[in-house]
């Protein structure tokens, strides 16, 4: 497998046609607007292609590849990757990927259908302010701006972000508490995401900023608005449906992490099964204790969660205490003295 330069990304377009039709991020990497890397088995006549964008890896092409190509894939795709593979690659993943403990992550893709009715935007109460995400907002430097600065880093340059990205945010007393933003843009297509701080959820803020973002995308000619989420994320799916989006298709990703993003998305029994799976995986992949701890916490197993955090810290894990502290699945332990002591221990070890 050979890593190719951005000016040659066009060579990979045919091989990646199927994944590009589902994932705007792949098209945007090929366009050169968001950061990413591309590998091909043969730049002159590619049969296998890999695109990396952050922790997402997209695998396409002919799975009946030579052993040398499969070995190259195992070197390229890290065990912590979140893998999207064409369906015919799934039986071959063990040959192309070193993570033998990855589990399916069912996902839903929604999209805006031209002419679909969008809800009227309800103005928030006192203390709230709704603003477009643009240079003026960054110049104002509101509280919690880092959540948007992280988004900018995913683009090839700040100029690309400010020229192409579309979004709105809700401020409360001068601090960003909810935002909706295009994660990627390619031609007339874009993928929109939304995020709201836990203390401000269920107030309609995510629905409001997402609806305004989609309206602005359509106004700018981005008629192919897409919205991706875990199939378990009932909140995200509900927001998408409430702002005029319809299901386009379902697909599956693979990863050795929790197939969810919010407390309550998974049943306690499912979480216990996941915890046991990640604990077995930890014998080969030490960082899987991170997700085992989250699964135990979600199953209301405090002692099991703390035990996994302790073993994670004592292993060769190269993560940071802040990752544990901010992990959504461990929020029930946020004020637990034993958990706080473990975080302090991790910080001592990292000094």
Residues 32 and 134 in one domain: no
**CATH assignment of the domain containing 129:** 3.40.630.30
Q: Is 260 part of any domain?
A: no
Count the helix, strand and coil residues of the chain and give each as a percent rounded to the nearest 5: 45, 25, 30
DSSP, collapsed to helix, strand or coil, labels residue 156 as coil
Q: Look at the block and give the residue holding tokens 């702002």.
A: 243
In this structure, the answer to whether residues 248 and 121 fall within a common structural domain is yes
CATH number, domain containing residue 56 = 3.40.630
Residue 29 lies in a domain: yes
Task: Classify residue 123: in a domain, yes or no.
Answer: yes
Establish if 262 belongs to a structural domain.
no
In-domain check, residue 259: no
Same domain, 44 and 136: no
SS3 51: strand
Q: Is residue 39 part of a domain?
A: yes
Residues forming beta bridges with residue 128, ordered by sequence position: 172
Reading the chain (351 residues) residue by residue, the pLDDT tens digits are 999 999 999 999 999 999 999 999 999 999 999 999 999 999 999 999 999 999 999 999 999 988 899 999 999 999 999 999 999 999 999 999 999 999 999 999 999 877 666 666 677 778 899 999 999 999 999 999 999 999 999 999 999 999 999 999 999 999 999 999 999 999 999 999 999 998 888 888 999 999 999 999 999 999 999 999 999 999 899 889 888 899 999 999 999 999 999 999 999 999 999 999 999 999 999 999 999 999 999 999 999 999 999 999 999 999 999 999 999 999 999 999 999 999 999 999 998
DSSP code for 245: E
pLDDT of residue 244: 86
* 116 and 188 together in one domain: yes
Establish if 282 belongs to a structural domain: yes
Q: Please give the full DSSP string across 288-312, using - where no structure is assigned.
A: HHHHHHHHHHHTT-HHHHHHHHHHH
Do both 232 and 280 map to the same domain?
Answer: no
Same domain for 163 and 275, yes or no, is: no
CB 198 within 8 A of CB 190: no
pLDDT of residue 235: 87
Domain closes at, from 254, 279, 308: 254
Q: What is the pLDDT of residue 171?
A: 96
On whether both 178 and 235 belong to a single domain, the answer is yes
C-alpha span between 34 and 227 (Å, rounded): 17
| Domain finish residue from 34, 66, 101 | 101
pLDDT at position 118 is 65
Do 240 and 168 fall within a single domain?
A: yes
Domain end point (choices 254, 278, 308): 254
Nearest to 179 by CA among 142, 214, 205: 205
Query: Which stretch of DSSP H or E encloses residue 274?
Result: helix 268-281
Q: Is residue 263 part of a domain?
A: no
Whether 83 and 136 share a structural domain: no
Structural domains of the chain, count: 3
**Residue 95 belongs to what domain range?**
2-101
Are 133 and 232 in a shared domain? yes
Are 88 and 158 in the same domain?
A: no
Same domain assignment for residues 230 and 159: yes
């Amino acid at each position: 497998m050979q890593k190719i330069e951005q000016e040659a990304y066009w060579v990979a377009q045919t091989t990646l046609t199927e994944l590009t039709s589902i994932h705007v991020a792949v098209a945007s990497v090929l366009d050169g607007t968001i950061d990413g890397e591309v590998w091909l088995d043969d730049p002159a006549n590619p049969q296998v292609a890999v695109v990396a964008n952050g922790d997402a890896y997209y695998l396409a092409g002919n799975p009946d590849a030579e052993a040398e190509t499969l070995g190259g894939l195992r070197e390229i795709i890290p065990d912590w990757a979140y893998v999207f593979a064409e369906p015919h690659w799934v039986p071959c993943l063990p040959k192309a990927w070193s993570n033998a403990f990855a589990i399916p992550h069912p996902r839903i893709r929604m999209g805006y259908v031209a002419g679909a009715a969008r809800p009227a935007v309800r103005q928030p109460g006192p203390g709230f302010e709704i603003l477009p995400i643009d240079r003026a907002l960054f110049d104002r430097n509101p509280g919690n701006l880092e959540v948007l600065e992280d988004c900018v880093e995913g683009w090839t340059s700040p100029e690309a972000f400010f020229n192409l990205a579309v979004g709105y945010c809700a401020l409360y007393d001068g601090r960003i508490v909810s935002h909706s933003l295009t994660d990627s843009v390619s031609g007339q297509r874009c993928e929109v995401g939304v995020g709201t701080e836990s203390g401000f959820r269920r107030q309609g803020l995510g629905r409001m900023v997402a609806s305004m973002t989609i309206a602005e995308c359509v106004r700018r000619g981005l008629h192919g608005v897409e919205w991706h989420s875990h199939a378990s994320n009932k909140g995200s799916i509900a927001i998408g449906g409430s702002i005029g989006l319809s299901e386009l298709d379902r697909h599956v990703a693979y990863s050795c992490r929790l197939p969810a993003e919010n407390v309550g998305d998974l049943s306690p029994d499912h979480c216990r099964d996941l915890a046991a799976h990640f604990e077995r995986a930890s014998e080969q992949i030490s960082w899987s204790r991170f997700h085992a701890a989250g699964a135990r916490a979600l199953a209301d197993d405090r002692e099991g969660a703390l035990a996994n955090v302790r073993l994670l810290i004592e292993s060769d894990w190269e993560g940071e205490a802040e990752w544990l502290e901010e992990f959504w699945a461990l929020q029930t332990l946020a004020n637990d003295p034993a958990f706080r002591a473990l975080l302090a221990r991790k910080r001592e070890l990292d000094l």
